[in-house]
Each structure stands twice: as C-alpha cells, then as structure tokens.
C-alpha cells in the first residue's frame, strides 16, 4: 500500500506505474482517492474546529453559571447541543470516507523498481542467468507421476477418493525423499545464518489483507467456516504477520528467518497439460525464507535470497536459471521479483520452482510494522523467497537424477538425510 501523501503529491507517477502494469482500469482510482482525501481532510478540519469551540464554550458556560447568569448559559448550551450533533455527523462522515480511502489504497499497485522490465504477462519475463549445464540424456525421461509410481511412491487414485483432485499420497522412498529435501533445505538455511521457525498454519483476516492483495486472497486462500481464520498459502503469510502492530528497535534489524509449513491453495483457473500429477496441487509443504530489514538494505537482501535458492538447487545437481518478472507479472504489492526455474530434461525446458520478492514497505504499511530509530519511526521493508517446495521440487530432482536403468541417484549432500542411501532402486 502506498503512502496517501505520496499519491496526493505524485499522481502522474502513480498513474504511469499503473499503465506500466497494464491495469488501466485502475487509473480513475487515483483521482477518486485524491478527491476523497480532500473531503476527509476538510471534514477533519471542521470537526477539529468544532471540538476546539466546544471546549471554549464549556468554559464560558461554567463562568456564566458561576456568575448566576443561568439563562445566558442555557442559550449557549443549545449551541453546544447543535454543535455536538454536527460533530457526530462529521465523525460518521470521516469514518465512511476513511474506509473508502483505505479500500482504494489497498487496490492501487505498489511502485515498481525502475529496473523491472515492462511487459504484459509472464511470457515477457526476461532471463537473467543460467547455472549449471542443462542435460538431455540419451534415454527417455518418463512423466514424473510414472517415475514415482514405478517406486510405488505415489497414489493419486486413493487421494481422489479421500479428498478429490489436487491431492496425493506419497509413500515409501519417495515420501522419504520428500522429507529429506525439506530437512536438507532447513539445515542449508540455518547454515546461512537464518533462524528456523515453525509458524501457525492459520491466520486472521487482518493478517491476510496485510500480506497480499484482494485478488490474490480470492484466488488462493481457504476460509475456515464460522471463524476469522484462513489456512495459509505459504508460511510467509504467518511469518510477516508475526510482526503486526510492532515497533521494532532498529538495532534488532535485520530479521532473517526460514520457516517450514504445509501450504493450502485453491489454485483457481484452468491449467495446462504439464500441470497434471503433482505439479499444481491444493496442499504441499514448503521451506521459506523471509527478511525484515531497513529500506536501504532491501535490494542487497533481495539478491542474497534468490542466490540462496540457486545455490541449494546446484548443491543437488539440478541446473537452474533466474528469470526477471516483468511489470505485468508482478503482484500489486511487489516492487521487484524474480523466479528460479529448474531444468526439466523431459520437457527440454525450465519450469518454476521458486519465487523471490521484494515488497518494499507495502506489507509493513498495511500491518503497521514500524522501526524505531534515533531519527524517528519508519516502515520496515519485507522480502520473501522459496527455499524448496516439494513435491514440485521433487519433479526437478527425479528428472535430473534419473539414471538409464530407472534408478535415481542421491547427491552426496542429501545422502545423510536418506540414511546413507546413494540411490533409489
């Protein structure tokens, strides 16, 4: 969410940012919110004058009563009553205007970083760099569900009977591999100085609207019937929410946290063939990283976060690339974002396995996460990035470590988490 003062003083910049994100339908909101803000400030000023006048008149009434001038005091009391009624009406108007302003401000997108490429959608994202040599072996790579089922490690039919489409049973060595990857990712991030956390898996609505846009909320979140609780779509939601309404001493920054959680997502919309199996599902587990820091350090942390994911995948012998998200592919709260994509030998192309985002002070402004410094208070910057998200990560792992005889090799770094196993047969 932007600073209303910034919108008021820089309407052209805000409008151009909306155009850059190809959301022209939102352009009228800028003038609308500025007009509502003017009405609200006028109502506030009039209300303040009435309050000041009320205090002044109250003293006059007291003086008149002390002098025995009861009739004059009664006349002035009538004026106080009239002013009170008007003040109540103004306060009601203020509340109504402030709610309208808030709703619009939560819809206007954040200002993107100047380095973000301008493009309409993810088809115009820009490749930054490749890491590792993508290999296509001289034997056929089966679809990931076929690989898993060959090891009796996946049961989609039973999951459909129990929960419907978008769910799965992982079993045996595949389930063990899933847990090993999560544990390895946890220790990898601890080794990089991050504090390990297991957060609540449900959050209240004020946290939901603080960490994401209304459009994202509608597309992703599952509501708990009859309660003000939502299942988290990623532990970032809980982890950033941890700091809601907090004033953080500046010397405590940065907070660097890595968190484990199950994730629950509606995944609304139609998806393509490659999203069969366990690629796009309603329930999965993830290791996440988040940072709460000073504004001047957020871009430095942004580069560190995506590099962590690249380094982890390379440690498991998986080629990856980084992809800069264009303006039209950025969610409304994001300042800058890049995807980490893993190589798929079967598809002979890369696919997304993680996303790194710098949200500037957008989440902090919505959640009132402030920093107390010697020069006063300011809003913190927040960032997040995927470490690993099985089972999608398992697709990349299985395809890149599959051997000609159908076995799957276990990279040396992961072997301690698999009980010393060097391959799955």
Of the chain, the percentage scoring pLDDT greater than 90 comes to 82
Backbone angles phi, psi at 351, to 5 degrees: -140, 155
pLDDT the model gives residue 270: 42
For 113-133, the pLDDT digits (tens) are 999 999 999 999 999 999 999
150 is written with which tokens?
Answer: 């060959």
The residue ranking higher by pLDDT, 288 or 266, is 288
Termini Cα distance of the chain = 52
Q: Is the pLDDT of residue 56 over 80?
A: no
The helix or strand, by DSSP H or E, that contains position 264, with its residue range, turns out to be strand 255-264
Q: What is the helix (H) or strand (E) element at residue 353, kind and residue range?
A: strand 349-358
- pLDDT band (50, 70, 90) for residue 391: confident
Cα of 315 vs its chain's centroid, Å = 27
At 86 the pLDDT is 83
Q: List, in order, residues 6 or more apart from 274 with CB less than 8 Å away.
A: 347, 351
The CATH code of domain 122-424 reads 3.30.930.10
- Region of 270 on the Ramachandran plot (φ > 0 left; ψ -120 to 50 alpha; else beta): beta
How do strand 349-358 and strand 320-324 relate by DSSP bridges?
unpaired
If DSSP codes are grouped into helix, strand and coil, which group holds residue 281? coil
Ramachandran region of residue 141, left (φ > 0), alpha (ψ -120 to 50) or beta?
beta
Residue 174 has pLDDT above 50, yes or no: yes
Under DSSP, the state recorded for 332 is T
In tens, the pLDDT along 305-355 reads 999 999 999 999 999 999 999 999 999 999 999 999 999 999 999 999 999
> Domain-by-domain residue ranges, the chain?
4-105, 122-424
Residue 272 predicted with pLDDT over 70:
no
3-state secondary structure of 262: strand
Phi and psi at residue 336, in whole multiples of 5°? -160, 145
Confidence of residue 363 (pLDDT cuts 50, 70, 90): very high
4-105 adopts what CATH topology? Answer: Helix Hairpins (1.10.287)
**Cα-to-chain-centroid distance, residue 54:** 46
Runs of H (alpha helix) within 106-227: 144-150, 156-163, 172-191, 205-211, 214-220
pLDDT higher than threshold 60 for residue 269: no
What mean pLDDT is predicted for residues 30-51? 93
In angstroms, how far apart are the furthest CA atoms of the chain? Answer: 107
What pTM was computed for the model? 0.90
* Backbone torsion region of residue 423, taken as left when φ is above 0, otherwise alpha when ψ lies between -120 and 50, otherwise beta: beta
Find the mean pLDDT for residues 201-215: 92
């Amino acid at each position: 969410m932007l600073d209303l003062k910034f919108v008021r003083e820089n309407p052209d910049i805000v409008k151009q940012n909306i155009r850059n994100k190809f959301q022209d339908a939102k352009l009228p909101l800028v003038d609308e919110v500025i007009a509502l803000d003017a009405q609200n400030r006028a109502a506030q000023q009039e209300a303040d004058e009435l309050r000041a006048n009320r205090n002044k008149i109250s003293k006059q009434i007291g003086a008149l009563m002390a002098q025995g001038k009861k009739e004059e005091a009664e006349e002035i009391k009538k004026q106080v009553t009239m002013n009170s009624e008007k003040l109540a009406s103004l306060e009601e108007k203020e509340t109504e205007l402030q709610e309208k302003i808030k709703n619009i401000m939560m819809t206007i997108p954040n200002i993107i970083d100047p380095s973000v490429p301008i493009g309409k959608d993810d088809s115009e994202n820009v490749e930054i760099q490749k890491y590792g040599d993508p290999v296509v072996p001289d034997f056929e790579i089966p679809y990931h569900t076929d690989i898993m089922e060959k090891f009796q490690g996946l049961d989609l039919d039973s999951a459909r009977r129990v929960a419907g489409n978008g769910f799965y049973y992982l079993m045996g060595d595949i389930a063990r591999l899933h847990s090993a990857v999560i544990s390895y990712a946890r220790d990898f991030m601890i080794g990089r100085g991050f504090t390990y956390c297991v957060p609540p898996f449900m959050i209240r609505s004020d946290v939901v609207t603080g960490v994401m846009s209304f459009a994202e909320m509608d597309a992703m979140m599952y509501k708990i019937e009859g309660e003000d609780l939502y299942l988290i779509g990623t532990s970032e939601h809980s982890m950033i929410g941890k700091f809601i309404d907090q004033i953080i001493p500046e010397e405590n920054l940065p907070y660097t946290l890595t968190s484990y959680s199950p994730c629950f997502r509606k995944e609304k919309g139609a998806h393509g063939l490659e999203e069969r199996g366990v690629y796009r599902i309603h329930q999965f587990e993830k290791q996440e990283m988040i940072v709460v820091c000073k504004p001047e350090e957020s871009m430095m942390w942004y580069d560190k976060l995506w590099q962590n994911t690249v380094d982890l995948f390379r440690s498991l012998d998986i080629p990856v690339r980084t992809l800069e998200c264009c303006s039209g592919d950025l969610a409304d709260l994001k300042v800058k974002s890049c995807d980490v994509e893993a190589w798929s030998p079967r598809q002979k192309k890369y696919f997304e396995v993680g996303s790194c985002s710098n949200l500037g002070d957008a989440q902090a402004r919505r959640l009132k996460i402030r920093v107390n410094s010697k020069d006063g208070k300011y809003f913190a910057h927040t960032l997040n990035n995927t470490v690993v998200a099985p089972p999608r990560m398992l697709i990349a792992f299985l395809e890149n470590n599959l051997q000609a005889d159908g076995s799957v090799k276990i990279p040396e770094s992961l072997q301690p988490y698999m009980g010393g196993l060097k391959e799955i047969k």
